[in-house]
Amino acid sequence: MKKREIFIASRWPGKQDPPFALPANASPPKAEERSGLPHFRLGNKYKEEGQYNRAIAEYLAAIRLNGHLPEAYNNLGIVYKHMGRYDNAIETYQEALRINPNQSQAYDNLGVVYLEMGLNDEAIAAFHKAIETNPDNPRAYHNLGAACENKGLYEYAIHAYNQAIQLGPTLMEAFYNLGIIYGKMNAFDQSIKAFKKAIELTPHNAEVHFNLGLTYRKTGMREEAIREYEAAIRLDPDFAEAHKNLALLKQKGDNHVY
């Protein structure tokens, strides 16, 4: 089956801080300039545009002006993570948490880095801290499920994914990952149910259709599997695995499981 999803979240220092820079011809008030927020906002703009080196420069400028802006450290960590600079990301998230130990998203993002490094125990500890500081964080529960799944703790993973769904009923990725883990456990009825819910939430996701097709095939539901492979190909005409499995399934006398 195709891999599960994990999340990483940006931070804004307040609800009134917009995700864009000030106009080029605008001069920020002196107090705001000293706060580092203009550089922080510009860093966010560059981050969203994928201009990571420029984003780093702006976040560092914000930190030089205001070393007590945990959101700048958090978003700088995100950029380092996207660039594969995991050690820098960890150090930066830890600094954000030193400034504000109650920043759930920084714990969550730290856990994501550990997860991508294969450090599942460290990831689980970080996700637990994210949940401890914000019990209503569905993405932390979701990412905890991914770490537990990596360790083969399937029941714990299912519990975490279900907690994520309870807090975020439209969190498609939690249903998708439930479908994958139920498939690993050969609990195909539950897997089909989870994938169907994921498709209901995001009908144009080729990978979900593909994985539902795999599950149908494993339960001997040939026509349903063909339908889902064809849906995946319509959504992604270059989906090589879907083309391959569809061709094999249509072969006369096919009795294989893919």
Per-residue pLDDT tens over the stretch 76-100: 999 999 999 999 999 999 999 999 9
Above 90 in pLDDT, residue 254? no
Above 70 in pLDDT, residue 57? yes
CA proximity to 76, closest of 36, 43, 116, 119:
43
Give the pLDDT band (50/70/90) at residue 189. very high
CATH of 1-127, one of 1.10.530.10, 3.30.420.40, 3.40.50.720, 1.25.40.10: 1.25.40.10
Give the whole-number percent of the chain exceeding pLDDT 90: 81
pTM of the model: 0.81
For 26-35, 115-124, 158-167, which range has the lowest pLDDT when averaged over its residues?
26-35
Domain ranges in the chain are 1-127
The pLDDT score that the predictor gives to residue 8 is 54
